[in-house]
Amino acid sequence: DELLWGASWLHRASQETAYMGYIQSNGHILGGEDDVYTFSWDDKRVGTKILLSK
C-alpha cells in the first residue's frame, strides 16, 4: 500500500501520467481494490483512494 500511496502523491505533485499508469497496472496486485474503511500507519489504501478521487 505504501507504493500506491507514494505513486498517488507523486502523480498529484507532478501530473506525470507514468505514476497513474503504475497505479492502474499494479493496484490490483498491491491490494488497491480491496474494501477498506480506515486510514492508519500501516494501511494507507483509504488515503490513496481519497487522493486519487480529487
Q: Which domain holds residue 44?
A: 2-53
The whole-model pTM stands at 0.82
31 contacts 45 by C-beta, under 8 angstroms = yes
CA 24 to chain centre: 9
Question: For residue 40, what are the β-bridge partners?
Answer: 43
Q: How large is the angle between the packed helices 2-14 and 17-26, nearest 10 degrees? A: 160
Domains of the chain: total:
1
- CB count within 10 Å of CB 6 equals 14
pLDDT of residue 34: 75
pLDDT of residue 28: 83
What tens digit of pLDDT does each residue of 1-52 get? 889 999 999 999 999 999 999 999 998 888 777 788 888 888 888 899 899 9
